[in-house]
Amino acid sequence: MYTLSAGIWEKFFKKKDYFVVIVGLDNAGKTTFLEQAKSHFVKDYGMLNPSKITATVGLNTGKVELNNTCLNFWDLGGQESLRELWPTYFDDANAIIFVVDATRSDLFPTVSALFKEVISNDAVQNLPVLVAVNKSEMEGASPAAEVRMLLEDENHQSDLAVLPVSALEGTNIERCVRWIVRTLASQPLYL
């Protein structure tokens, strides 16, 4: 009887911990995305002033709790010299957020190659991947549909979402976090 009660308690009340890696080119808005996620879901969180956010050297972390789910974010630096460290985080990840600067179409070939490198990693093959097309509110930004076509890869076997966001304004950040939670919860593999 105890085992049944413990199982029921765990199913309904224990928080499920997931690890979400945030990657993308340097200056795409990864840290601002994380700050907005924390400000939307962490009560009384004092968000960093976006104008004071500098390039991440190493990683930033953050935690967001939603219902019985705890998302632990690892925001990794996007400089070329730091990208070789990304795969070490993929082994423990449950989902990936790939942030793209929609205003830098000149970097799209690099973004495409980097995205394909990330999703071809064995540890990422079956993970849900959210592409946050950042700075979508700015004039001259490429639409999310264009970025989706740029990043299409028939080899990725799991869920892929491409959403326009404005990390600066917080637009669609909550939607992104809720997509991750919903997608992870629907896949027993990640429990």
Q: Which residues participate in the annotated binding site?
A: 24-31, 56, 78, 134-137
The sign of the torsion formed by the CA atoms of 82, 150, 138, 130 equals negative
d(CA 123, CA 181): 19
Q: Which amino acid is at 71?
A: L
What one-character DSSP code corresponds to residue 42?
A: S
Q: Which positions make up the binding site for GTP?
A: 24-31, 78, 134-137
Tokens of 157: 């076997």
d(CA 122, CA 28): 25
CA dihedral angle for residue 160, residue 102, residue 99, residue 83, rounded to 10 degrees: 120
Residue 21 CB partners (closer than 8 Å, separation 6+): 73, 74, 76, 86, 89, 90, 93, 95, 96, 97
Place of tokens 């989706």: 148
Give the up-direction half-sphere exposure of residue 181: CA atoms within 13 A in the CB hemisphere: 20
Q: Which amino acid is at 116?
A: K
Q: How many residues does the chain have?
A: 191
Q: Which positions make up the binding site for Mg(2+)?
A: 31, 56
